[in-house]
Each structure stands twice: as C-alpha cells, then as structure tokens.
Structure 1
Amino acid sequence: MSPEKIGKKLKEARKRLGLKQVDVAEKAGISVNYYARIERNEENTTVETLKQILKALKIKSSEVLTF
C-alpha cells in the first residue's frame, strides 16, 4: 500500500474518533510534527511506529493496510 493511502486512512480514523494529532502522537510516543508529516504523506514510518499509532487510534491494521 502506498504511503499516501496510509496517511489518509490514519487521518480519517483520527477524525472519526474526534482526536487531534497531538492526542495520537502523545499516545503513540512520537512527536506531533512527525505524526503530522505521516498523515500528510511527507514521511514514511517504520512498522513499529505504525503499530504504536494503530494502538493509539485503537484500530486494527486491516483498517489501514487494505490491499
């Protein structure tokens, strides 16, 4: 899956939950700037960081990593 789609899916999930970028970043243990760049598709992320973000959003990987 392309990073563009991952960023878009993360943003959709965050907004659906009524969370701000800072909320997700803090829960995932990453900087808000890094998380914002991931959402805007300006930054790739590691599998480990993606797991932390998914946990912060309380969503399954299948909701983001659709093929």
Structure 2
Amino acid sequence: MDLKEVMAINLRRIRHGKQLTQEELADRSSLSARYIGAIERADVSASVTVLGQIAEALGVDPAELVTKSG
C-alpha cells in the first residue's frame, strides 16, 4: 500500500470519527470538497502543505494521516 492510499484510509477514518462531511472538512481546511474526495479515493497525492491544512482542520498531528496502522 502506498502512502497516498494510507492517507486516504486514515483521512476517511478520522473524518468519520469526528462526524464531519467532506464539505465541512473542505470548509475548515480552505480546500474544495472535490479535492478532499479525490484525496480520500487516493486519486491525487496531497502536498505537505495540504496535509498540514487537513491535519489542522481535523485537530490531529499530520503524522496521524500518513502512519500505517495495524
């Protein structure tokens, strides 16, 4: 599993755990909902800047988004 797939899985899990929609996360992170969806599907690779924006919007350490679990 590559890093963009790991981020996709972690992002979806954390977002659902915080009961946020893609639109709400997009608003909080100043990104588009379409882009959030593309990251969650592992269609695109997020830059470190975007990783930071998403982590801040979710209130988590950026490492949580890219660390393999299990």
TM-score (normalizing by structure 2): 0.88
Query: Amino acid of the residue matched to residue 4 of structure 2?
Result: P
Provide the residue aligned with 2:13 in structure 1.
12
Which runs of at least 4 in structure 1 moved beyond 6 Å after TM superposition? Answer: none
Structure 1, unpaired ranges of 5+: none
Provide the residue aligned with 2:35 in structure 1.
34
TM-score (normalizing by structure 1): 0.91
Provide the residue aligned with 2:62 in structure 1.
61
Query: Amino acid of the residue matched to residue 33 of structure 2?
Result: V
Structure 2, unpaired ranges of 5+: none
1:66 to partner: Cα distance: 1.7
The aligned length equals: 67
* C-alpha RMSD of matched pairs (Å): 1.2
